[in-house]
Amino acid sequence: MHISQLQTPALIVDGAALEANLATMAAALPGPRLRPHVKAHKCTALARRQVAHGAGRFTLATVREVEGMAAAGMGEDLMLANEVADASRLGRVVETGARVTLAVDSEATIEAAAAGGVREVVIDINVGLPRCGAPPDQAGRLADLARARGLEVRGVMGYEGHVVGVEDRSARVAQIGPCMELLLSAHAQTGGELISAGGTGTYDINTWANEIQAGSYALMDTAYAKLELPFVQALHVLARVISVNDQWAVADCGLKSLGMDHGNPTVVGGSVWFCSDEHTTFSPDSKLKVGDRVKVIPAHVDPTVAYHEAMHIVDGEEVVETWPVDLRGW
């Protein structure tokens, strides 16, 4: 199939760029040093490509992702790096033989893990991002509570999400150390083999953690592109021009097909003015006509992928495979 036959907006992945990104990360973080984050692509076919490049364990953000990865035969070591109030669905995955580790940060989430049938946990530590995670000085107490409920404590995790996107590399280097000192102090209280942290923006800086939860590196976006990492843009949204005048053009790709929390997308060959529900208004660098195709590169890849039912793998302008985004939803 030629890309001109695709209904737009369509999620496009350059197959060669994807493979290059996977190979680059596998060389930097071989084997168990990398725990790829599935939330960035929500696609079991892409996860299989990561397995082919040496990944044996995965990070996940939703129960649905855990269920889908286990059902696809990739349940060797799945970490749900998120608290849940009801772990019963995870317990059913464990019963199938998959290894599931759940993040906990309170008595309530420890109880949910035990009651739901999960057997292994990591203590989630707040290392500076105001989101989930227990204070570091509570790590030992929570680990003791988890063990008292019959759970194995595999170690700690802590996400320096407020650092991974800092554009200045020297600032990222300076800010990550104090975060990981907090995580290591927590690990000294809990024990366990895992010190899990990091992301695409700190994959080569975070030498404190023994596994890195990077995800966006596979497909990339404009936010991470600003960091000048050794990963290339593999993903864009293919759109068609649906309206033109002397000053601007409009493409059929808007808020409902682009993750906008990191800002406007980039249109190759134009300057974006604004996005609305189903439209991107931009000033083109050259004259366009209705029906012309344009590449729209999102600022944040994770939510962008989640808007689409499939991603089309291309070689040039030929669609060579179509992969369902089969881990969408909850």
Average pLDDT (67-82) is 98
Domain with CATH 3.20.20.10 in the chain: 15-218
To the nearest whole percent, how much of the chain has pLDDT over 90?
Answer: 100
Model pLDDT, residue 97: 98
Burial bucket for residue 162 (CB in 10 Å: 0-12, 13-18, 19+): middle
Q: Are strands 310-315 and 211-212 parallel, antiparallel or unpaired?
A: unpaired
pLDDT band at 57 (very low <50, low <70, confident <90, very high): very high
pLDDT band at 153 (very low <50, low <70, confident <90, very high): very high
Q: Are strands 10-14 and 58-60 parallel, antiparallel or unpaired?
A: unpaired
- Of 147, 146, 197, 202, residue with least CA distance to 173: 202
CB-CB contact of 122 with 101 (8 Å): yes
Return the SS3 of 98: coil
Q: How far apart are CA 236 and CA 9, in angstroms?
A: 10
Model pLDDT, residue 120: 98
Average pLDDT (227-235) is 97
Model pLDDT, residue 185: 98
Q: Which residues contact 302 (CB under 8 A, 6 or more apart)?
A: 39, 40, 215, 216, 259
CB-CB contact of 73 with 47 (8 Å): no
Model pLDDT, residue 247: 95
Beta-bridge mates of residue 283: 271
CATH of 3-11+231-324, one of 2.60.40.1180, 3.40.190.10, 2.60.40.1120, 2.40.37.20: 2.40.37.20
Per-residue tokens: 171: 């600032």
pLDDT band at 182 (very low <50, low <70, confident <90, very high): very high
- Of 82, 77, 111, residue with least CA distance to 94: 77
- Of 45, 92, 36, residue with least CA distance to 64: 92
Q: What is the pLDDT of residues 235-258, one digit of tens each?
A: 999 999 999 999 999 999 999 999
State the sign of the Cα–Cα–Cα–Cα dihedral 206, 220, 256, 266: positive
Q: What is the pLDDT of residues 276-299, one digit of tens each?
A: 999 999 999 999 999 999 999 999
Per-residue tokens: 319: 């669609």
pLDDT band at 173 (very low <50, low <70, confident <90, very high): very high
Map tokens 């707040």 to a residue.
126
Model pLDDT, residue 44: 98
- Of 111, 67, 61, residue with least CA distance to 90: 67
User: In the 8-state DSSP scheme, what is residue 259?
Assistant: B
Q: Are strands 235-244 and 211-212 parallel, antiparallel or unpaired?
A: unpaired
Domain with CATH 2.40.37.20 in the chain: 3-11+231-324
User: In the 8-state DSSP scheme, what is residue 216?
Assistant: G
Model pLDDT, residue 307: 98
Map tokens 């070591």 to a residue.
77
Model pLDDT, residue 85: 98
Per-residue tokens: 78: 């799945």
C-alpha angle with apex 287: 292 to 222, nearest 5 degrees?
A: 70
CB-CB contact of 193 with 152 (8 Å): no
Q: Are strands 235-244 and 10-14 parallel, antiparallel or unpaired?
A: antiparallel
Fold for the domain defined by 15-218? TIM Barrel (3.20.20)
* Average per-residue pLDDT for the chain: 98
Q: How far apart are CA 191 and CA 61, in angstroms?
A: 24
Q: CB atoms < 10 A from the CB of 99, how many?
A: 15
